[in-house]
Structure 1
Amino acid sequence: MVPKVVFGEGCFDQLSTILSSQTKEKAPFIFLVDDVFEGNIAFLNRINLRFNDKLIYISADEEPKTSQVDTLVKDIKTEFTNTPSGIIGIGGGSVMDLAKAVSIMLVNQGSAEQYQGWDLVKNKAVYHVGIPTISGTGAEVSRTTVLTGPVRKLGINSDFTPFDQVILDPDLTKGVSKNQWFFTGMDCFIHCVESLNGTFLNAFSQSYGEKAYDLCMEIFLGDTLSDDEMRAKLMMASWHGGMSIAYSQVGVAHAMSYGLGYVLGTKHGVGNCIVFQFLEEFYNKDVALFKKMVAKHEVEIPQEVCKNLSEEKMETMITVALGMVPLWENALGSNWKDRINRDKLRELYSKM
């Protein structure tokens, strides 16, 4: 679990105080910041860089890659003799995943692609802090950092992956576009659906999943919340949804979304929505609710993204999805191969 968290409007301004206790002599803090904040002087001044601290802007236009992690680690090691005092990720799920991965790879040998999988990390990560500026992914609390590698899209799943400190300031999510707000929010909703309907469900994950699910219903189908209340509650839904899957697992939508992301570069939240609309067979009630949310907020889900795919790309997409074994086991049990095979996935992808 994340050992320390602060929450509340304006709590981002506690960052300097929080970091002061972690400062090591001649060792900088490295800030990975969503490039949407580039040029926002008022915001950047609140970060309060000191001495040899370094700020690196990160584009969230593409999903994070193992090669991107390797480049960041190489650049940091080249510029600084000492291991950084800490890595701070400020942004959406992609930026936070990069922050987690960089903090791991600074003290573990080889390439990030070697650690895609479960419990492969040997050395404790550098101190790292997550500060979400978009709510829904659960990246701020999860024990995985999802990366696209040369042969697969898969997270570094490890007890060393979670942040040491998280700062949850709902004010930082002001200005998020409607589509981003919806797609990342649906990532949270689908986390809850897949956790609550999974075979790995336990009392711990259920308690978090049910709370996040109820918050999503209030946010996306209710009409009584102010903008401030909506921002705060979605931030809490993201946290609780991430906690739920941390102690269980996701399912069909995420497994298939990884295939879309690897082959087509589809953003994670969008990919989940593309897939989820065709999963009545697995999550009938919740797919119906999802479609109500889409209609209520007048969001367009991309259609026919798999139309005219080459046979090679379709086969790769299927292979990536089938490789997500723990997700299928959670969704359908140990005998999941009785229901899911290459033909079944081809049938589902062809609808998209």
Structure 2
Amino acid sequence: MKFRNFKTVPKMIFGRGSFEQLDDVLAEERKQADDYVVFAVDHVHKDRPLRERIPALEQDMIIWVDTTDEPKTTYVDQLTEEVKAFGKGRNPVSVVGLGGGATLDMAKAISLMLTNEGGSAKYQGWDLIKNPAVHHVGIPTLSGTGAEASRTTVLTGPDKKLGMNSDYTVFDQIIMDPDLLQGVPTDQWFYTGMDCYIHNIEALNGTYINEFARAFGEKSLDLCYEVFLEDHPDADEKLMMASYMGGQSIAYSQVGACHALSYGLSYVLGYHHGIGNCIVMDVLDDFYPEGVKIFREMMKKHNITLPKGITKGMSEEDMDKMIKVASGLAPLWENVYGADWQTHVTPELLRSLYEKM
């Protein structure tokens, strides 16, 4: 048996106010006076106080990442070309992602595409990246996706939604400052946090589970309970750690049915990852009965109302596309059912689940 040799983030800073150390981190990468850094920042911060705190020098580039839609391969390629044009043949010494999971994924993807030719759609899959990325830093301003810890960058391509899964994708440095979570709207806070909760439910109930993944997943789940059921006074710190540990858990296990179905939903209907997961989780009583029960308690506590009837009147063509995307995620379904997953995951099953949404 061959065990996975998986890579984790080598350097991390955690604590309130730690964002102020970003300048010191980047100073270590700047070797020459004209070395430049690319800051990929969620566009929601363009008119917020955080904008003035970005430690950009005169020669640096700030990209305001449009997160209106889920990250697309075409958008990654567009921004990569903009960076190349800005650098006039020289790559930045670092790419800094500052925002939620979509922005962190965009920063990872840009750092990879600056050193790997051919466009990002070519690398959607597992271990297809050939060359190490440009140094890249992840700083979450939302918590839940685990993007700061994971080896993937989830992208919607021309014919599928699938990550660039690679050891080279992993951030070289992360800064986790709970102060950056302040002011997030409740629904967005909830949907993003539920991504973490769902990661743990899927990993802990999957066939891939092992003691490494269980240790991180169980602690992450406990933190989620404190945040979403108990309103703990240190909720921001706890959610930030839950997100990181949830990402660590699935790195050595896998997500499951909710994420597989959510990918199809996002690809066809454009739902953002967090709310898409929540819509799917609400119909998975047969897969994760206890997890779904507690999920609904969390929704009730925070007055969250999910969209209903979203697939009603959908064309057969679109339904077939969703089914195709969801059924194509073999590792996720193997984590649910085991090696014989294909006997269980039929178009009829997937259709019946989508029709409940």
Give the corresponding residue for 1:100. Answer: 108
Give how far 1:340 is off: 1.1
Deviations 1:96-139 (CA, angstroms, capped at 9, x unpaired): 00000000000001010000000000000000000000000100
Q: Does 1:134 find its partner at 2:139?
A: no
Deviations 1:195-247 (CA, angstroms, capped at 9, x unpaired): 10111111111100000001111111114x22xx0111000000000110111
- Tell me how far apart the structure 1 counterparts of residues 139 and 259 of structure 2 sit (CA, whole Å): 24
Other structure's SS at 1:281 match: coil
- Tell me how far apart the structure 1 counterparts of residues 139 and 54 of structure 2 sit (CA, whole Å): 11
Q: Does 1:246 find its partner at 2:251?
A: yes
Describe how 1:151-300 pairs up with structure 2 within 5 A.
151-223=159-231, 225-226=232-233, 229-300=234-305
Counting matched residue pairs gives 348
Give how far 1:45 is off: 3.0
Give how far 1:37 is off: 1.2
CA-based RMSD of the aligned residues comes to 0.9
Deviations 1:47-94 (CA, angstroms, capped at 9, x unpaired): 221131011101211100000010011111112121111100000000
Say which of 37, 62, 67 aligns to 1:29.
37
- Tell me how far apart the structure 2 counterparts of residues 11 and 233 of structure 1 sit (CA, whole Å): 16
User: Counterpart amino acid of 1:256?
Assistant: L
Other structure's SS at 2:168 match: coil
Give how far 1:43 is off: 2.3
Give the corresponding residue for 2:3. Answer: none
- Tell me how far apart the structure 2 counterparts of residues 308 and 44 of structure 1 sit (CA, whole Å): 43
TM-score relative to the length of structure 1: 0.97
- Tell me how far apart the structure 2 counterparts of residues 292 and 254 of structure 1 sit (CA, whole Å): 20
Describe how 1:113-132 pairs up with structure 2 within 5 A.
113-132=121-140
Other structure's SS at 1:21 match: helix
Q: Which runs of 5+ in 2 are unaligned?
A: 1-7
Deviations 1:133-166 (CA, angstroms, capped at 9, x unpaired): 0000100100000000000000000010010000
Say which of 298, 301, 313 aligns to 1:308.
313
Give how far 1:295 is off: 0.8
Q: Does 1:86 find its partner at 2:94?
A: yes
Q: Which runs of 5+ in 1 are unaligned?
A: none
Describe how 1:12-27 pairs up with structure 2 within 5 A.
12-25=19-32, 26-27=34-35
- Would you identify which runs of 4 or more consecutive aligned residues in structure 1 move more than 6 Å? none
TM-score relative to the length of structure 2: 0.96
- Tell me how far apart the structure 2 counterparts of residues 5 and 64 of structure 1 sit (CA, whole Å): 25
Say which of 331, 342, 346 aligns to 2:347.
342
- Tell me how far apart the structure 2 counterparts of residues 52 and 91 of structure 1 sit (CA, whole Å): 22
Say which of 59, 63, 77 aligns to 1:70.
77
- Tell me how far apart the structure 1 counterparts of residues 266 and 301 of structure 2 sit (CA, whole Å): 26
Q: Percent sequence identity over matched residues?
A: 52
Give the corresponding residue for 2:65. Answer: 58
Say which of 132, 150, 154 aligns to 1:146.
154
User: Counterpart amino acid of 2:127?
Assistant: D
74-83 vs 88-97, greater mean Cα deviation: 74-83
User: Counterpart amino acid of 1:232?
Assistant: E
User: Counterpart amino acid of 1:201?
Assistant: I
Other structure's SS at 1:192 match: helix
- Tell me how far apart the structure 1 counterparts of residues 225 and 289 of structure 2 sit (CA, whole Å): 16
Give the corresponding residue for 1:351. Answer: 356
Give the corresponding residue for 1:8. Answer: 15
Give how far 1:332 is off: 1.2
Q: Does 1:45 find its partner at 2:65?
A: no
User: Counterpart amino acid of 2:272?
Assistant: K
Deviations 1:262-301 (CA, angstroms, capped at 9, x unpaired): 0000000101010111111110111111111111111011
- Tell me how far apart the structure 2 counterparts of residues 280 and 195 of structure 1 sit (CA, whole Å): 16
- Tell me how far apart the structure 2 counterparts of residues 39 and 343 of structure 1 sit (CA, whole Å): 47
- Tell me how far apart the structure 1 counterparts of residues 96 and 25 of structure 2 sit (CA, whole Å): 11
